[in-house]
């Protein structure tokens, strides 16, 4: 029991420290190369209403780097690599146990994190630079193209679950028999991945996405340990530690934004971990602020399109609605963190007692 606790908390702390140490150099590079968009969202759209101007700081958007998510996945990668190297260079019973790079638990989620993050990084750089070599910003700037790439990732990982792990269904809390999808598990996985990916619009206020995601991954660390999936628990802890390092510098006024390199990678790996821990149906509760973000956008679009241009919210997603109501950025962010903690605790408790 003690070694399991060490296996979670030591790498988590190490990832946080690594993130803190690498951030100053990375921040200097971000500002040196001006890795921010040259036009803010108001300039790129025809939206000029007062609600929009309330929730978007145009000056900050064109002077703040948007690739801060690099800090998260680099911290995770360095931490995992360091623990693995130590286990090989200094082989001992302790170092072997602390190494959580395992083929059956962490290889696929780690690969999903890095692959999604690299796609996001390319997208961020295209939005900043306009083009990379022969690739123009239209390639990934088009959201439908990104959705296509996410769908491909979902098909590959979903196939791995189905064909390699033999997973074809999900469990329902307090109901032990699996709901079996058969081969339709793969499209189901894709749909869930796209649903979680759609929550990336939560990255709209300083500290909001970082705080919420750090809490969600910490909750999954507890869930994984409760299911004796210690390596997955360690990976979730390390991701949470990397996010906390990012958050240290993202608290207002933000030194940088998470960007797509953070949000795509984190939403992809979150989906994979939810399936690995068989908690897909509880994910909307555990990650309640992410769910509310997506639902608010869907309701706004449906209402505006089919109900005579009526709006459910002053502006979507939901956190911008609160800003338009007059809430300060800090109030919105802190209350989202509080809701995240409560929702995550409830989700963890339901998960552990329903097994």
Higher pLDDT among residues 201 and 11, named by residue: 11
pLDDT value at residue 342: 98
pLDDT (tens digit, 9 = 90+) per residue, 162-201? 999 899 999 888 876 678 999 999 999 999 999 999 888 8
Q: Lowest-confidence range among 55-59, 222-226, 238-242, 273-277? A: 55-59
| Residue 99 confidence (pLDDT) above 70 | yes
pLDDT value at residue 45: 47
pLDDT value at residue 240: 98
pLDDT band of 2, cuts 50, 70, 90: confident
Q: What's the rounded Cα separation, in Å, for the pair 234 and 15?
A: 11
Helices (H), the chain: 2-32, 41-44, 50-55, 58-61, 69-89, 93-98, 107-129, 138-141, 143-159, 185-197, 208-226, 230-250, 259-276, 283-286, 288-306, 318-324, 329-353
Residue-range domain boundaries for the chain? 2-283
Higher pLDDT among residues 342 and 47, named by residue: 342
Closest CA relative to residue 243, chosen from 6, 12, 8, 83: 12
pLDDT value at residue 221: 97
How many other CB atoms are found less than 10 A from the CB of residue 341? 15
Higher pLDDT among residues 338 and 126, named by residue: 338
pLDDT value at residue 323: 92
Q: Provide the b/e sequence for 45-62 (b: ≥16 CB within 10 Å).
A: eeeeeebbeebbbeeebe
Q: What's the rounded Cα separation, in Å, for the pair 190 and 161?
A: 12
pLDDT band of 6, cuts 50, 70, 90: very high
Angle, CA of 42, 43 and 45, to the nearest 5°: 65
pLDDT band of 140, cuts 50, 70, 90: low
Per-residue pLDDT averaged across 285-301, rounded?
Answer: 94
Q: Lowest-confidence range among 134-148, 151-165, 281-295? A: 134-148
pLDDT value at residue 56: 59
pLDDT value at residue 201: 86
pLDDT (tens digit, 9 = 90+) per residue, 24-78? 999 999 999 989 876 665 544 444 455 655 565 555 567 889 899 999 999 999 9
Question: Is the whole model's pTM more than 0.85, yes or no?
Answer: yes
Q: Cα 308 vs. chain centroid, distance in angstroms?
A: 35
Average pLDDT of the chain, as a whole number:
89
- CA torsion sign for 305, 306, 309, 311 is negative
pLDDT (tens digit, 9 = 90+) per residue, 246-290? 999 998 888 999 999 999 999 999 999 999 999 999 999 999 999
pLDDT value at residue 316: 87
pLDDT value at residue 237: 97
Q: Which residues pair with 170 in a beta bridge?
A: 179
Closest CA relative to residue 70, chosen from 127, 25, 39: 25
pLDDT value at residue 46: 46
pLDDT value at residue 252: 82
């Amino acid at each position: 029991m003690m070694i399991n606790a060490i296996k979670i908390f030591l790498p988590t702390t190490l990832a946080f420290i690594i993130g803190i140490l690498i951030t100053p150099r990375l921040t200097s590079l971000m500002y040196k190369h001006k890795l921010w968009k040259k036009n803010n969202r108001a300039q790129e759209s025809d939206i000029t209403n007062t609600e929009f101007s309330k929730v978007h700081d145009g000056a900050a958007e064109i002077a703040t780097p948007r690739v801060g998510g690099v800090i998260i996945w680099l911290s995770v990668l360095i931490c995992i690599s360091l623990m693995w190297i130590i286990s090989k260079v200094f082989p001992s019973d302790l170092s072997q146990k602390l190494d959580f790079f395992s083929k059956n638990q962490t290889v696929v989620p780690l690969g999903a994190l890095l692959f999604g993050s690299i796609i996001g990084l390319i997208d961020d750089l295209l939005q900043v630079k306009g083009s990379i070599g022969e690739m123009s910003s239209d390639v990934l700037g088009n959201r439908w193209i990104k959705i296509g790439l996410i769908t491909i990732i979902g098909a590959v990982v979903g196939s791995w679950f189905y064909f390699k792990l033999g997973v074809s269904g999900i469990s329902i809390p307090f109901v032990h028999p699996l709901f079996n999808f058969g081969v339709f598990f793969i499209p189901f996985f894709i749909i869930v991945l796209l649903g979680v990916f759609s929550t990336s619009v939560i990255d709209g206020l300083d500290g909001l996405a970082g705080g919420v995601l750090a809490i969600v991954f910490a909750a999954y660390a507890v869930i994984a340990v409760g299911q004796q999936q210690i390596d997955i628990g360690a990976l979730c802890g390390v991701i949470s530690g990397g996010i906390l390092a990012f958050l240290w510098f993202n608290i207002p006024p933000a030194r940088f934004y998470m960007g797509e390199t953070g949000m795509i990678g984190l939403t992809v790996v979150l989906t994979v971990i939810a399936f690995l821990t068989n908690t897909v149906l509880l994910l909307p509760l555990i990650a309640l602020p992410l769910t509310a973000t997506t639902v608010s956008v869907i309701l706004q679009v449906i209402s505006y399109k089919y109900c005579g241009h009526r709006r459910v919210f002053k502006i979507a997603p939901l956190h911008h609605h609160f800003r338009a109501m007059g809430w300060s950025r800090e109030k919105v962010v802190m209350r989202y963190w509080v809701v995240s903690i409560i929702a995550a605790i409830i989700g963890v408790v339901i998960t552990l007692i329903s097994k």
